[in-house]
Amino acid sequence: MPEAIDAVAEGFAALSDGRATVPVRASVPLRDGAVALAMPASLAGGPYYSVKVVTVASGNATRGLPAVLASVALGDAATGTLLALIDGTSLTALRTGAGGGVAARALARKDASVLALFGAGVQARTQLLAAAAVRKLRDARVVGRDARRVARFVEWARGEASLAGVAVGASDAGAALAGADIVVTATSSSTPVFDGRGLGQGVHVTAVGAFTPEMRELDDATLRGARIFVDQRAAALAEAGELQGLTSGDVVEIGEVLAGRLLGRRDGDERTVFKSVGNAIQDLVVASRVYERARELGLGEDVRFP
């Protein structure tokens, strides 16, 4: 996770510098409300390009499948040759968590130690790992609609070596928000998952679940008076339900903060919100590291097409 956080930070800076080419993703509807999305990316002067195809099907929980499934094709930017096909489900969770880690490292108070986490799926796991990688957490409160999933999540967290010293337990929304320094939402909800009036001063909020104008995890009270940061203006303003009606002047790209062009958190009492709809530059920079590491370690299977 720490390496993925560093890679995504570099990717976000490149995105805001204009060195990354990332079209707004194409989307097609599938059955039963599911959706498929195509997300290409390249980096000026970089050795690779990537294309991710991701599907989101909220009904997969009843099928014993992850809600998010994906594949990433990584290719040579000079020749166009396909170099690798990577499991995009794990990669998406890793890079999305890393994005939350980048935001927490840049925007959360240095002494942040209490996390309120809404969601108990794969995305929530990597968000917790990322937050713990950049801040010394002592308490993580997990809120979810399915008590059994929350229980499985807590059991997983208590066995995770990188979370040693973090007290992870189930909670309800109100108790989770009380005294929380960082709040993360990683759900497929179409309506706000908590009442923003319960947030304390100086809290940092990361929302990664909603990715269409019809979805939103955060209410108006959460956004009111907050400084709002995004992964990419065009995509976030077009796709995030929470940001409908806002303009480019109302949000800051996290890459602009990482590059030192704009300030992040200005004081300990300020509320910061990072709204991410996911960006293909995250897939590219993390997939590149995965590919290079796999080659170094001799992992994977060589495939030659007829």
- Residue 4 has a pLDDT of 96
Q: What does the pLDDT read at residue 68?
A: 79
Reported residue count of the chain is 306
pLDDT at residue 231, rounded to an integer: 93
Could you state, in chain order, the average pLDDT of each consecutive group of 10 residues for the chain (306 residues)? Answer: 96 94 90 93 97 91 86 97 94 95 98 97 95 98 95 96 96 96 94 95 94 90 96 89 91 94 92 95 97 96 87
Task: Return the pLDDT at 256.
Answer: 95
- Asked whether the beta carbons of 233 and 158 are under 8 A apart, the reply is no
Catalytic residue among 52, 110, 136, 275: 52
pTM of the complete model: 0.90
Listing DSSP states for the chain in one string gives -HHHHHHHHHHHHHHHHT-EE-PPPEEEE-GGG-EEEEEEEEETT-SEEEEEEEEE-GGGGGGTS-SEEEEEEEEETTT--EEEEEEHHHHHHHHHHHHHHHHHHHHS-TT--EEEEE--SHHHHHHHHHHHHHS--SEEEEE-S-HHHHHHHHHHHHT-GGGTT-EEEE--HHHHHTT-SEEEE----SS-SS-GGG--TT-EEEE-S--STT--SS-HHHHTT-EEEES-HHHHHHH-GGGTT--GGGEEEHHHHHTTSS----STT--EEEE----HHHHHHHHHHHHHHHHHHT-S------
Distance (Å, whole) CA 85 – CA 82: 8
Q: Determine the pLDDT at residue 25.
A: 80
pLDDT of residue 210: 81
CATH class given for the domain over 107-278: alpha beta
Say if domain 2-91+281-297 classifies as CATH 3.20.20.70: no
d(CA 117, CA 131): 10
Segments making up each domain of the chain, as ranges: 2-91+281-297, 107-278
**Parallel, antiparallel or unpaired: strands 35-43 and 26-29:** antiparallel
pLDDT, position 239: 86
What is the pLDDT at residue 109? 97
**52 is a catalytic site residue:** yes
